Structure 1
Amino acid sequence: MSLRQKVVIGALTGAVGMAGALVTWFEGRSLVAYLDPVGIPTICEGVTAGVHLGDVKTPAECDALLQKELAIALNAVERQVLVAMPETRRAALASFVYNVGEGQFSRSTLLRKLNAGDARGACAELSRWVYAGGRVLTGLVKRRAAERDLCEVGL
């Protein structure tokens, strides 16, 4: 199944479904903790909070963690964004926040532009967030392109 098909199916459950499709597509799933490209212990679909190397999760535990982390990301978007936006943009931003965290999002030019009414400029900012550990990561380039496409729906 393609990413586009996953997002369309996710749209049936709104922003959380679309964001979940993006996150699972780009994060993948690992039941055993590993070090991400910048050396942070990570498990399931990119979860880092409280993770230690050697940790192991079941598929059900990963499903629960994914839902919890998606809800946290979506709530962060709801708290920080002060303008109305379509579900597609909400989903793109939830995927972004899931990846970079609320702190980075809250201090971003992306959020400032969005709240100033410049949705097109805000969505374009996603393309700048492709670095990890000081280097461009191909996976982040692809993820940000997909998030930007979703963010720009309707512009």
Structure 2
Amino acid sequence: MAAAVALVGGFEGRRLSAYLDGGGVPTICFGATKGVRLGDTATAGECDSRLRADLVEHEAALRACLKAPDAIPDQSYLALVSWAFNVGTGAACKSTAVRLVNAGDLRAACNQLPRWVRDNGRVIPGLVNRRQSEQALCLEGLR
């Protein structure tokens, strides 16, 4: 879990006051959106706790849609958890990437991650960078 907290926390960045993300969704802490309203605030400790809880929730949901999650190398799994945290596990579980993982083609699944760079139809440079990093980590697990 510590590696996931560090990876996702680094990508998301901690914001102690609610703001509108690139898609216009009220967001706080490390990308948390559930129950967030503009004007909300949080402490650093609250954000850290929320990130850990959110990661546990997302990891469990992703794990449930993978046929053999324990067979995935740690680095690849970490990359998939980070990606699913960002895109949402509902979208992740319905994706070609997860279908490829479940078909046993993890390399092809890793190569799907860079496709997930849009928000409301627009390519977001920060997502391009994040997906490149996640893809590299995912592929690193296959070496």
Taking structure 1 as the reference length, the TM-score comes to 0.87
Residue pairs, 1:25-44, within 5 angstroms: 25-44=10-29
| Alpha-carbon distance between aligned partners in 2 of 1:92 and 1:153, rounded to the nearest angstrom | 10
The size of the alignment, in residue pairs, is: 140
Structure 1 residue aligned with 2:75? 88
Consecutive unaligned residues in structure 1, runs of 5 or more: 1-15
Name the aligned partner's letter for residue 91 of structure 2: Q
Instruction: Tell me which of 83, 103, 111 is aligned to 2:98.
Output: 111
Residues 91-110 of structure 1 deviation map (CA, whole Å, 9 limit, x = unaligned): 11111111111110111000
TM-score by length of 2: 0.94
In the alignment, the residues of structure 2 paired with residue 151 and residue 43 of structure 1 have an alpha-carbon distance, to the nearest angstrom, of 27
SS of 1:152's partner is helix
Separation in structure 1 between the aligned mates of residue 139 and residue 29 of structure 2, nearest angstrom: 29
Distance 2:21 2:14 in 1: 12
Aligned equivalent of 2:60 = 75
Question: RMSD over aligned Cα, in angstroms?
Answer: 1.0
Structure-2 residue corresponding to 1:46: 31
Q: Of the candidates 111, 125, 133, which is equivalent to residue 124 of structure 1?
A: 111
1:19 Cα deviation from its structure 2 partner: 2.1
> Could you tell me how far apart the structure 2 residues matched to 1:97 and 1:111 are?
10
Q: CA deviation at 1:154?
A: 3.7
Identity %: 49
Show structure 1 runs of 4+ deviating over 6 A. Answer: none
Contact 2:62 2:93 (8 Å CA) reproduced: no
1:66 matched residue in structure 2: 51
Q: In the alignment, is the contact (CA less than 8 A) between 2:74 and 2:141 conserved in 1?
A: no
> 1:144 corresponds to which residue?
131
Q: Which amino acid aligns with 1:132?
A: D
How far off is 1:18 after superposition?
2.4
